[in-house]
Structure 1
C-alpha cells in the first residue's frame, strides 16, 4: 500500500541564517517533519561563519571557505529561501514583514539575525564599516586590500574597540597587508584602560603579539569624529586611517526596537526553552537574543550549542510535544587568531599560544563548515521489485527537472500537433510552430494567444510565480505585442485551508505585480490540488500590425540574444545540491526580471522568439527552418550564467538535454549548453547588423544587456557552432 502524502498544515519561519538556524536546517533535512512547511528569510544566499572571519581577513581562507551556503542548505531541508531583509513582526496576526515582498505568515517562528557593529559616532556611517554584519565588512576589506596593493589608498587602518574581536581583526589585517607587499599602520582604539574580554595572562600575550606585528594600542581613547582619512579622539592626537573598522561591542539590529518584542538593551529576551518571554510561538537564538536566565557574552559557541535544543523545541512547538531547557556552559574555550597561522587558547584564566593551537582551531572550524557543506546523501526512492515493462528503466534515469527542463521533447510534441489544421478558421493567422497563435481582430489589428506552465524548480512560490509569469509573457513580447490579459492555472500541494489561503495570496499578489508592470490585467484563473506546485498562465497581447514571427529573418541578419543561457544546468545542479548558492541566486534573480523594455527596443526586428525549453540551438533552428536560412553561432560570444559552464563541464545536465540534442543537432563544437533548456530565457532576435548595434546601445542606456551571437545566411536550415 502506498503511504499517503501528509498535507501541509503548519508554517515554520526562520528569520536569519545564523549558526543555530544553519544547524537546524541540516538536522531538518535529515529528518523533516511531515506536514510542516519551512521558510527561511535572509538578506543574502550565504552567511559568513564567525570563527573563520579573522582567518579570511588574514588571507588563510577563501571567501567560499568562509561562507555557509544557505541556498544549498535550504534545498537540502526542503525549505524555501526568501532573499530579503525582515523588517517587522506582527505577533497578533503572526505575520513577518519582508522588504520588497508581502508579509509572510507563520505558525511558529525563530529569529537568529546576529548583531551589528554599526556605531552612533559622527561620520561612522559615511566613513567606517562595522565588523558585523560580517559579509559587508569582508567585502569592504577585500576591496581595501586591492586598493592598498595598487597604491590608490594608504595602508592605514583604525580598529575601534580593544576587545578580543578588535585585537583579532587588527592582527589579521596587519598580517594580510604585509602579505600583500605593503607596510601597514594599524591602530587599535580602546575607550577603557586595557584590552577587555580576556584574563591577565591572555592580555599580556595579546599585547606582545600586537607589538610584534607593529600594531599601536591607544587606551583611554574616546572617538569623537570619523573623517575620510583619520579618526579624531578626545584629548589625543588623531589616528590616520584610510579604513576604519568598528568592533566595539555588539549592537542589536535597529528594526527590533520598533516591534513589540520583549527586549533587554535592544536584544530579544528569551526563556530557558529559547522561546521569547510571553510568547511560546516565537523563538530567538544567537547574538540577537538575551538570556537573563543564564547571562553569557556574545559568542558563536552558544549559538552552536543551542542548535540541538532549538531544533527539538521547534518540532515540539509544531507537534504539541514537551520542550527541553537550554543550559549553556559557564566556562568555554576561547581560541583567538594571532594574524599568522598562530593562535592563542584561553580557559580558566590560563592561556597558551603557538602554531599548534592554530592548527587545532583550523581543524575545529573546518569540521564545523564541513558539516554544513558536505550534506548527507539522501536515499533515492525505492523502485518496486516488480514493475510493468519499461517502468524500471524510466525510474532509473536522471530525476525529472523543474521549469522547462520538465517539458516533453520537441520531436514528440511536433508529432502530436502535426494533425492540427488551423485553415478551418479564417481568423487564425498562425498557430502551431510559433511562439503564440495570431488571430485577426474584427475591428482591425491582431491578437496573440499563448499558454505555459512550469513544474516548480524552487520552493518559494513567490519567486516561482514571478518566473512563470515572465516566462509566459515571453511569448507575447517575442511577437512584438503589448500584453493584454492573463489567466492563472495553479496546482497546489495538498495543504490545510489556512495554508491554501496564504499560498494563494502570495501567488496572486506576485502575479498581479508582474502583469500590472507589463500592462496586462490578471483576470482570474483555475486552481486545483495535486502532487506538487505547478504554476502557469494563459496570456494574450495585441499589436496593430502583423506580429513578429520566426519566419521573417533575412540573409546577412545577425542574431542578438538578451539573456545568458545555462539556467537548465543551474537548476539541475540546484536539485542535486552541486550548485553554488550565489550562482543559483544570481540566475534566479535574472530569470524573474521582465523583458518588456527589451521587447520595446526590438519590436521592429525581422524575426524574434524567446529561448525556452528546446534550448538555444532548437530555437535558432526553428527560426532557420521557418525563414529558409542557415545559422552560424560563435561559441565565444554566447553569454552563459555564472557557474553554468563549470557545472556543464562536470557533466551536470537537465533531464531534457538529450531530447534537445536529437531534435536540433549542431555542426562543429558539441557544447551541451547550446541545447540546455531555458526557463524565462532571453529574446532571440534576427535583424540587420547596424540595427543590432543600435539596439545594443539602447539596451545599455537602460542598464540592460544584449549580445550578438551569430549570423544568418542563405542555405539549407542548419546550425553551425564555431
Structure 2
C-alpha cells in the first residue's frame, strides 16, 4: 500500500531500512502503530519473508510450518505505511545518500539503517564449493527439501561442521527430520574446539551426553583444513567422508559492506552504543550486521531482537534532529537450546538445566514473539478474524490499479451520449470499442493510439512504473501493432523537493525500462501535484491494416487462449488490508511486469484471429465484447482458468476489488444462475492490472501455440474455452 494512504502530511524525510532482520520488523510494527508525521519508511529486502532464528531448528525438524517460522514482510510494511522494495542492495553511495542495486536505479535516503544479517564463514579451502551453508536460510531450506528426497533413496553420511549452539541444534534437528525414513543415516559433528564453547562446562557435558545417546560421532578439537568432493581433511591429516556437509562455523560479513566507505570492524559495521555508525552519523546498523565497538557482544539472535526498541527510538530522534541515546545490552543472557525430542537445555553463566518443560517454555516464548508481527490490525481497524468490508460498502478502501476504472456500464452510457464528429483519418474510433484507436496516415500504414493511467497499487515506485507502462502497452499489442513512443501522465503528492524528485525518477525509470524492452521510447509527458500517486501513458504505435487484430474476427471452433493467470484484483484488494501473502504478491507483481509483446508475436505466428487484453473489466467483460462483435458464443471451462497463487484464497475470504460488483453485470451474458462474488465464478469478473491477452486461435494450431507460449513468454498460459455458434439464449456457457 502506498504510504500516501496512511497520511496526507507531505513527506519531508525518508528512512530507508535495508534488510528485514529482527530489529527492523520491530521498527516497522512500531511506526505502524505510531507514525512520525512527515517521515516515511522504506524497507529494502531481498527476501519477502524473514525466518525467525529461534524457530529455525524446529522448522528444520518439522515441528513448525514454513509460515509459523517466518515473518511476512509484505503485510508488515503495509501496516507501517512503508514502501517495500523487493530487491537486493549491493552497495551504498554515502556522499549522495543512496542505496545501490545491481538491476535498478539507486534509492535516496535521509537516514539509513542496516539489518542484513551475515553470511556463512567458509574460510576453509573447498568449503564454498562442496559444503552447504546455513545462510542464506532460503537456499538452505531448498537444499533441505532435496536432502529429504535423497535420504528416502539411500543411507547418507551427514557431517555438520561447527560445534556451537547453532551447529548442535541443526544436527539434532536434521536427525529428527530424517529419523522416520526407511534408512538409518550416519551423523558426525566436527568442531575446531569443544562442543558448545562459550557455554558453561555443565551445558557442554549435557550435550556430549545427548549426542552420544543419539549415536552422533563427535570430533572435538578437530580443525578442518580442506574440503574436497565427498571428503573433508583435518589439520591432523585425518579424513572424514560425507555425502552431505553442512557448514555452521560462524557468521561472516556481507562482502559489499567493504565497498561502502563505512568504518568496519572485521568486516562488520562499527557502531556506537546507540547503533549509529562511528564514521557516518546518518547510518545505523544492528544485529549480526554490526559490532558495537565499545561494548561488543556475540552475534546472537537475542541481541538482534533486543536491539529493536532502542533502534526505533533512535531513528525517531535522529529524524527529529535529536541526538540518539545509548543502549547497553546485558552481558549474560539465558539461552534455551532445543534438542530433537521436544526437550531443551537452559544455559546462563554458570547455570544449566534441561527438560521437556523448558522446551514448552521456549515454544511459548517464540510463538508469542512471532504473533506480534504475524497478527496485525487491519487498515480499517478490524482484526484478522473480522470479515472484510464488501466492495459496495462506502467505507471500503477504493482499489487502485485497473480496479479503479470507471465501471463498464457507466462508460458505455457516456460514449452513447457523446457525438464526436467523424473524421476520414479515424479508421477505428470511440464507437468501435476496440482496445486502441487506429488512424490512417500513409497508404497501407496505420497509426495506433491508446492511453491508460491509474493510481499506484504497489509501494515500489520503480515496479509501479514498469507495471503502468506494460499496462498501457498492452492495448497496442492487443491490436497487433508495434509501439513506438509514449507520453507520460504523472501525478505525485506534495513533499520535500528531493523526495518528490526521487519518487518521480523511480517511476519513470521503471517505465523507461519497460518501454525500451518493447522497442518504444518515452517522448514527453505532463506531471502535476495530486492527492495520490498516479501514473499513465499515451502510447503511439504503428501497424499494417492486414495485420490488425480485431475483437470480432473469431470463428466458431476457435480455441480461447489466455496468456496470463487471473487474480490481480482480488490479491491487490487483500494486500490493501495487509491480508495477502508476500510470496503471492511477489508472483503477481512479476506477472504484471511481464510484457505481452512476445506473447502477441507467438499468437500471430499461430494464426490468432481475434485478440483483446484482459484488464479492468475482467475475463467475462472482455470476452463479452469479443462475442458481442462477432455474433458468436463461447464456452469457458472454469476448471482450466489459470489463477495466481493466493487469488482463490483471497476471493474465498471475500477480498474483492471495488470494481468487481460492476464487472459482475457481465453475468447477464452467462447461461444459468451464478453467484459472481464466489469462487470460482468470481475469477471471471476480477479486474486485471497489466493482465494477459485473450485470443481466438484456430483449433489446429491451439496446442502448438500453447506449448510455444508456456515454453517462452507466457508460462502461465492456458486454453480456457472455445468459440461456438450463437445459442438461443446464452452467449457464454460455463463448463
> Which residue of the partner structure matches residue 464 of structure 2?
464
Q: Which stretch has the larger CA shift, 213-222 or 554-563? A: 213-222
Answer yes or no: is the 8 Å Cα contact 1:164–1:197 preserved in 2: no
Q: Are residue 487 (structure 1) and residue 490 (structure 2) matched? A: no
Q: Distance in 1 between matches of 2:309 and 2:731?
A: 59
CA displacement, residues 77-133 of structure 1 (integer Å, 9 cap, x when unaligned) = 111111111111111111110221110111000000001114033332332221122
Query: Is the CA contact (8 Å cut-off) linking 2:90 and 2:100 kept in structure 1?
Result: yes
| Counterpart Cα distance in 2 of 1:694 and 1:308 | 58
Shift of 1:545: 2.4
Higher mean C-alpha displacement, 66-75 vs 228-237: 228-237
Query: Which secondary structure state, in structure 2, belongs to the residue aligned with residue 17 of structure 1?
Result: coil
Alpha carbons 1:118, 1:124 under 8 Å: kept: no
| Cα distance in 1 between the residues matched to 2:381 and 2:247 | 49
Residues 669-704 of structure 1: per-residue CA shift (max 9 Å, x gap): 541111111000011001111222222232244363
For residues 686 and 305 of structure 1, the distance between their equivalents in structure 2, rounded to whole angstroms, comes to 59
Match of 2:10 in 1: 7
In the other structure, the counterpart of 2:542 is 542
Q: Give the corresponding residue for 2:83.
A: 80
Partner of 1:274: 275
1:422 Cα deviation (Å)?
5.8
Report the equivalent of 2:712.
702
Q: Name structure 1 gaps, 5 residues minimum.
A: 382-391
Aligned residues of 1:118 and 1:125 also touching (Cα < 8 A): no
| Equivalent residue in structure 2 for 1:138, among 141, 144, 147 | 141
Q: Distance in 1 between matches of 2:524 and 2:556?
A: 43
- Quick one: distance in 1 between partners of 2:179 and 2:640? 40
Residue number in structure 1 paired with 2:204: 203
* SS of corresponding position for 1:298: coil
Deviations 1:9-61 (Å, cap 9, x if unpaired)? 11110000000001100001111112112211111111111000001111100
Give the Cα–Cα distance (whole angstroms) in 1 for the partners of residues 368 and 16 of structure 2. 27
Deviates more, 1:579-588 or 1:656-665: 656-665
Other-structure match for 1:419: 417
Following superposition, the deviation at residue 210 of structure 1 comes to 1.1
> Structure 1, residues 322-380: CA drift from partner, whole Å, max 9, x if none?
42211101111001011121111111211111111110000010011100001134555
Shift of 1:239: 2.5
What SS is found at the alignment partner of 1:434? Answer: coil
Where 2:532 maps in the other structure, the secondary structure is coil
Aligned pair count? 708
Counterpart of 2:666 (choices 646, 649, 663) is: 663
Alpha-carbon distance in structure 2 between the residues aligned to 1:421 and 1:112: 60
Q: Secondary structure at the match of 2:561?
A: strand
Report how far residue 242 of structure 1 moved: 2.2
Is this contact kept in 2: 1:492–1:533, CA < 8 A? yes
CA distance in 1, matches of 2:457, 2:115: 27
Aligned to 1:587: 588
Partner of 1:120: 123
Aligned to 2:67, the other structure's residue is in SS state helix
Map 1:413-452; keep pairs closer than 5 Å: 413-421=411-419, 424-432=422-430, 433-452=433-452
Q: Decide which moves more: 312-321 or 223-232.
A: 223-232
Q: 1:387 corresponds to which residue?
A: none
Cα distance in 2 for residues equivalent to 1:322 and 1:232:
52
- Residues 602-611 or 700-709, more deviating: 700-709
SS of residue paired to 1:602: helix
2:725 paired residue number: 714
Query: How far does the alpha carbon of each residue in 1:568-613 deviate from its partner, in whole angstroms, 9 at most, with x for none?
Result: 0111111111111111111111111112111111134210011000
Q: Quick one: distance in 2 between partners of 1:188 and 1:401?
A: 54
Matched, 1:686 2:696: yes
C-alpha deviations, 1:603-646, integer Å up to 9, x for none? Answer: 34210011000001111111000111111101111100011112
Report the equivalent of 1:235.
236
**What is the CA–CA distance in structure 2 between the aligned matches of 1:667 and 1:362, rounded to whole Å?**
54
Matches within 5 A, 1:101-250: 101-149=104-152, 151=153, 154-250=155-251
Q: Taking structure 1 as reference, are residues 5 and 82 closer, same or farther at Cα in structure 2, changes over 3 Å only?
A: closer
Distance 1:500 1:696 in 2: 44
- Deviation, 1:62, is 0.8
Q: Which runs of 5+ in 2 are unaligned?
A: 1-5, 383-389, 676-680
Identify the residue that residue 638 of structure 1 maps to in structure 2.
641
Instruction: Give the Cα separation in 1 of the matches to 2:7 and 2:165.
Output: 54
Q: TM-score, normalised by structure 2?
A: 0.93
**Partner residue, 2:597:** 596
Residues 47 and 255 (structure 1), Cα distance of their counterparts in 2 relative to 1, 3 Å cut:
same
- Deviation of 1:483 after TM superposition, in Å, equals 0.6
Residue 184 of structure 1: how far off its partner (Å): 2.1
8 Å CA contact 2:392, 2:658 repeated in 1? no
Q: Secondary structure at the match of 2:44?
A: strand
Partner of residue 302, structure 2: 301
Cα distance change of structure 1 residues 613 and 377 upon mapping to structure 2, 3 Å threshold: closer
- The whole-number CA distance in structure 1 between the counterparts of 2:691 and 2:377 is 33
**Counterpart secondary structure, 1:92:** coil
Q: Could you tell me which of 605, 608, 611 is aligned with 2:611? A: 608
**Would you say the 8 A contact 1:188–1:217 is kept in 2?**
yes
Deviation of 1:229 (Å): 2.8
CA positional deviation for 1:439: 1.1
Q: Please state how far the C-alpha of 1:501 moved relative to its aligned partner.
A: 1.4
Cα deviation code 1:274-296 (max 9, x no counterpart) = 11002210000011100122111
